Copies of this chain bind each other. A is one copy, B any other.
């Protein structure tokens, strides 16, 4: 039996709006067809959240209202189920394209480009995500196409969210908050880190009581003393101890939209050093939030933060945020000194103030935020404190 369509995260009109923006950009870049290979960009344009391990491509053609999604045959039912696309627009390629040195899923994508009759025109590729051999395959098998690099073209369009997307990101933020709340309940002296993480992760999936569930997951990051200067390590099998400091970075996920949050926990009273750093960071976060409004730049927000932090006697080496949306980070705007991206309403960022001061000492705090018409909305709602256990 044909698979039925599942519930859609957004109405068809929302996807057509996004496609219209992409097609305008395609006209500007003089491409007739654009091959989208970034998973996040495919989610954006179709609603697909199937986890596709095999090579795939979404072909957006100026001549067609709906794009054509080319995926491994076994992924086609999931893509039909999840996307707004007409089922004829989902092409499953056979297993003979899998695990072969001479032929892979991009050959199926190229076949579809030829069948759509757009092989001899301007062809956009996200070259920044393609390996050399993949780029060569497109060039060799489509010798009459004029290939144009469209890396990050859709990523920049994704930067400004619709109100519908913001509503989903608010749900994701509530899931992240629920997980932070759970962390405060389960981190206790004598508990194995992994056992606490099991509970916190369950909260990321379950979501807030009575609210929507997490629909995807990235494993959270948890580093505790003496690893608090190591931001990207996972939990260990150590037991939490009296006096332990614990830094957590986690996320809520809705329909592949992600709201991250970071909080610092202390079992017992925090050290003076930690307390001073926290106070400095929270006041610098206020300064950064005050600086957010349409017309300002990412650089101005970053510098408001850096100035306030330095006034309080600390320094942060790394950028203090980045654009967020589908699949966590958008590879576009950074909240950094030299990023002159102008803020616009419904841009969203992870204002990420994690600060790794020494090899064995770091501190984290962050919020997921939205630029509003006149200022800022903080999407995550957890209290901005060192959470004392």
A interface residues (Cβ-Cβ under 8 A, vs B): 1-4, 6, 49-53, 73-78, 80-82, 94-95, 98-99, 127-133, 135, 192, 194-195, 197-199, 201-203, 205-207, 212-219, 221, 223, 226-227, 229-237, 317-319, 329, 334, 336, 339, 356, 358-361
Contact = CB atoms under 8 A, between A and B. Distances in A.
25 contacts: A1-B226, A1-B359, A1-B361, A49-B233, A76-B359, A77-B227, A78-B230, A78-B231, A81-B227, A95-B318, A127-B131, A127-B132, A127-B133, A128-B133, A130-B131, A131-B131, A194-B213, A195-B206, A197-B205, A198-B205, A199-B202, A201-B205, A201-B217, A212-B237, A215-B234
B360 A230 contact: no
A132 B199 CA distance: 42
A4 B195 contact: no
A234 B52 CA distance: 11
A215 B237 CA distance: 8
A198 B203 contact: yes
A94 B318 CA distance: 9
Give the top 3 A-B pairs by smallest Cβ distance, nearest first: A194-B213, A78-B230, A198-B202
A230 B50 contact: yes
B95 A317 contact: yes
A318 B75 CA distance: 12
Contacts of A221: 51
A77 B205 CA distance: 30
B232 A75 contact: yes
B233 A213 contact: no
Contacts of A76: 359
Given A77-B360, A78-B227, A95-B318, 12 more contacts: A1-B361, A3-B229, A50-B232, A51-B232, A74-B232, A74-B317, A78-B223, A78-B233, A99-B334, A195-B206, A199-B202, A215-B237
The complex is assembled from copies of this chain, and their number is 2
Contacts of A4: 226, 360
A103 to B, nearest CB: 12
A3 B49 contact: no
Nearest to A205: B198
Contacts of A216: 219, 234
A128 B128 contact: no
Nearest to A195: B206
A91 to B, nearest CB: 14
B99 A319 contact: yes
A52 B52 CA distance: 22
Given A132-B130, A213-B194, A219-B216, A3 B359 contact: yes
Contacts of A98: 318-319
Given A95-B319, A212-B237, A360 B1 contact: yes
Contact of A231 (B49, B74, B233): B74
Q: Which of A81, A221, A230 has the most CB atoms of chain B within a 10 A radius of its CB? A: A230
A1 B358 contact: yes
Contacts of A237: 212-213, 215
Contacts of A52: 232
Contact of A74 (B75, B82, B133, B356): B356
Contacts of A49: 233-234
A249 to B, nearest CB: 10
